[in-house]
Amino acid sequence: MKLLTKQVTALQVVFVLLMLFLGIEDVVLVLQNRNLKEKINQLTNRKIELLTPGDRVEDVRAVSLNGDEVRLSYSDSAKKYLLLVFSTTCPHCEKNIPIWSEITRDNQDKCNYVGISTSSLEDTRKFVSMKSISFPTVSVANDTSLGRKYKIVGLPLTILLTRLGVVEKVWMGELTIGQKKEIAQLIGQSELLVN
């Protein structure tokens, strides 16, 4: 009988300890869940800001496809600039390549075109070769300030700048046929008509 009592008492102790452990774990998980919900609310309530017309784009360090360090500076050009910002691993960017190529081919002499890859130089070289990209392209993987300077919250990004480096219009995501026509029209417009 004493043996049975000791076994029952031991099982009761194990049961109480298990319940205590589960209770503490439950409290920890509730607190962790509360913290995660607060962080998610902070992230989702954060206002997404893109470049807007009138913003001036800052200079950025980049590397050309032949490995030379260059500085992307947009000022005092005879033509507007169209910046085509992408990543080599972005499927939406890949879908924009034919549209960007068509825009640059059809409006070749009307604008300065710059493909800006956020991927490594080696990955950018492979991507440009594989996709037969004909517009000038650089890698900015080494300049971590690009996201802040260009207010990048997603890719692909198409940015039209005036000849003085001021944002005229920004398109985020895959371009539609209507947006492609709008870009071509804006490229052909004199800045006097736009401003």
Query: In the numeric block, which tokens belong to residue 129?
Result: 């070769």
Nearest-CA neighbor of 190 among 115, 102, 78?
Answer: 78
Distance CA(190)–CA(195), nearest Å, equals: 9
**Which CATH number fits the domain that encloses residue 70?**
3.40.30.10
Distance separating alpha carbons of residues 90 and 71, to the nearest angstrom: 24
Residues 26 and 66 occupy one common structural domain: no
Domain that holds residue 170: 60-194
- pLDDT tens, residue by residue, 36-45: 767 766 666 6
Q: Please write the tens of the pLDDT for every residue from 113-170.
A: 999 999 999 999 999 999 999 999 999 998 888 888 888 888 999 999 999 999 999 9
Domain identity same for 70 and 118: yes
Question: Do 64 and 42 reside in the same domain of the chain?
Answer: no
Same domain, yes or no, for 19 and 98? no
